[in-house]
Amino acid sequence: MLRDISWRYFDFWLLGTVVLATAFGTTMIRSAVAGNEELLPLINRQIYFALAGLVLTFLVAAIDYRYWMALYRPIFIVMSILLFSLYLSAQAVFGAARWFQVGVLFVQPTEFAKIAAILLLARYFDKTQNEPRDLRWLLTAFLWTMGLAIWILLQPNLSNVIVLMVILVSLLWFNGMQLKHVLLFGGIGFLSLGTIVLLSAFGVRLPFLQEYQQQRIINFILPDPNATFGERYNVDQALIAIGSGGLFGEGYGYGTQTQLRFLKVRHTDFIFSAVSEEFGLVGSLFVILVIVLVIWRCLRTAQKARDVAGMNIAYGVATLIFFQGMVNIGVNLNIVPVSGLPLPFISYGGSGLTSLMLGIGLVQSVAMRHKQMEF
């Protein structure tokens, strides 16, 4: 299979922006953890992950993505087992477990589940591309997604379930979901979301939401002016960091909020605030631009894809990066409730970075094979 590889259509623009984003992220992590001795090894770890991810990108790009389509059953089964056993171990320690410890590594299967879901959906939409877009078509796609999402929901990890649902909705949209269904389910979704927010605001405990999740929603909708310290602390410190960055920032390694550790989880969820503080508006827009470039290259690849499966893979990865990136930045800017989604390629996190690199590898695989005519 490696014989057929033609690197001519390998998207070096995509690779370039991803490498740029990852390098910038690593640099930023270095500044963010500078004040904390315990976190210092994270810099090298992120570099190793980035390098491994890069190798993975080339490796996956070299393999024709259609092989994965054929392996959809093992993918689904292995992923389900991983997620289920994670759920079981979470039960054992009476709390939310998000990772397996493998040696010194903490592996988060949820991150890989997103890529798996994209592959499964790509296969499904490819198989059903000529079938009518009726409710059965919709429901089957939903069930495929829920097959993985259910275990994530039980972890509980609502944010990533939402990520999976957004990928599903996005791919449904691209695959021709009927407008009346969009309106119907959009209406239902909007109504139920409104109900959840309203009930949370009035203090009604909902059985499928954790208490802290409801609290976050309340804090976002109705900020309590007296509760600056506890609940709103992280978001407030992020806003101070971003705001004090100004146009050009306080300089790399000189952001007081970041360096003196007033900004919390500054190497993961709030790394965008650290960027904004140290590099200002210019740096923030640069990060957004780089991520938008990555998304654009993925969307472009999708449009040129040889088949529906390839198209769906590229759209899925684009959606994943788009949603996670924008939600993370939105959280930093306090226009979205706190969610715990990392900033793609920038935030620290081995599993997240590796799975994204995996996704990019798949997109590259699609890009490299986009012209059927060449042999």
Partner 1 sequence: MSSESTGKFQVPLWRILVVYGLLIAVVGVLTSRLITLQVLGGQNWNAQAIDNYTNTISDPAPRGIIYDRNGHILARNVASYNVVITPAALPDDDADIQHIYRELSILIDVPVGGPVTDASLDQAKLFAVCVPGPPIADMVALGDSLAPYSPVRIKCNIGEALARIVSERSVDWPGVSVEIEPIRDYPTGSLTANVVGFLGPIPASLETVYRDRGFIPNRDKIGYSGVETSLDDILIGRNGLRVVQIDVAGQVLRNLEPPIPYVAGNNVVLTIDTRLQKAAEAALVDEINYWNTFFGTIRISSGIVIAMNPKTGEILAMVSYPTFENNRMARFIPGYYYEQLIDDPRRPLVNNAISGIFPPGSTFKLSTATGAFNEGVIGPDKIVETPGRLVLCEQFSPNDPCTERNTRPFVDWIYERNGVINEAGFGQLDFFHCIAYSSNVCFYKLGGGFEEEIDEGLGIFRLGEYARAIGYGARSGIQLPGEEDGLIPSPQWKRINTGENWSTGDTYIASVGQGFVESTPLQVLMSGATIANHGKLMQPTVVREVQDSEGRVIPIWFNPEDFSLYQPLEEEDESGNFVRMWVNLANPTRKLRALPEGSYQISPFTPNMKWDITETPKIQIWDCEIGYCDPTGNYKTVETSTVEAVRTGTRLAVTEDLGTLHDIFLEDYPLPIAVAGKTGTAEYCDDVAREARQCAFGLWPTHAWTLAYAPYDDPEIIILAFAYHGGEGGTVAAPIVARVMQAYFELKSIDLVQSPGS
The size of the chain, in residues, is 375
**Interface residue with partner 1, options 295, 338, 341, 358 (CB under 8 A):** 295
Stretch that binds partner 1, among 39-47, 155-163, 191-199, 276-284 (CB under 8 A): 276-284
Site residues for partner 1, 109-128, by CB under 8 A, read: 126-127
The reply on whether position 252 binds partner 1 by CB under 8 A is no
Rounded CA separation 332/337 (Å)? 9
Angle formed by the axes of helices 12-32 and 41-62, to 10°? 170
Contact string 162-181 vs partner 1 (x = CB under 8 A): --------x--xxxx-----
Structure tokens given for 324:
């996670």
Q: Is 177 left (phi over 0), alpha (psi -120 to 50) or beta?
A: beta
Burial pattern 132-155, b for ≥16 Cβ within 10 A else e, equals eeeeebbeebbebbbebbebbbbb
Contact string 187-226 vs partner 1 (x = CB under 8 A): ----------------------------------------
**Interface residue with partner 1, options 1, 102, 222, 247 (CB under 8 A):** 247
Q: Report the sign of the C-alpha dihedral through residues 269, 270, 271, 272, in that order.
A: positive
Site residues for partner 1, 321-340, by CB under 8 A, read: 322, 326, 329-330, 333, 335
Residue type, position 325, single letter: G
**Interface residue with partner 1, options 90, 118, 163, 299 (CB under 8 A):** 299
Q: Using the structure block, give the residue that is written with the tokens 């390694």.
A: 253
Nearer to partner 1, 153 or 236 (CB): 236
**Interface residue with partner 1, options 132, 224, 285, 371 (CB under 8 A):** 285
Nearer to partner 1, 208 or 229 (CB): 229
Rounded CA separation 316/31 (Å)? 32
Strand segments (E) across the chain: 100-102, 105-107
**Interface residue with partner 1, options 27, 80, 178, 244 (CB under 8 A):** 244
Nearer to partner 1, 84 or 252 (CB): 252
Angle formed by the axes of helices 109-127 and 350-368, to 10°? 30
Residue type, position 74, single letter: P
Rounded CA separation 57/44 (Å)? 20
Q: Residue 43: enclosing H or E segment and its boundaries?
A: helix 41-62
Structure tokens given for 20:
């740029």
Contact 226, 251 (CB under 8 A): no
Site residues for partner 1, 335-364, by CB under 8 A, read: 335
The reply on whether position 251 binds partner 1 by CB under 8 A is no
The reply on whether position 104 binds partner 1 by CB under 8 A is no
Please tell me the count of residues contacting partner 1 according to CB under 8 A.
48
The reply on whether position 129 binds partner 1 by CB under 8 A is yes
Residue type, position 285, single letter: L
The reply on whether position 308 binds partner 1 by CB under 8 A is yes
The reply on whether position 269 binds partner 1 by CB under 8 A is no
Q: How far is the CB of 230 from partner 1 (least distance, A)?
A: 12
The reply on whether position 158 binds partner 1 by CB under 8 A is no
Taking residue 81's Cβ as centre, other Cβ atoms within 10 Å add up to 12
Stretch that binds partner 1, among 39-47, 94-102, 152-160, 277-285 (CB under 8 A): 277-285
Rounded CA separation 368/229 (Å)? 52
The reply on whether position 271 binds partner 1 by CB under 8 A is no
Q: What residues line the site for partner 1 (CB under 8 A)?
A: 35, 66, 69, 126-127, 129-130, 170, 173-176, 237, 239-247, 256-257, 260-262, 276, 280-281, 284-285, 288, 292, 295, 299, 303, 306-309, 311, 322, 326, 329-330, 333, 335
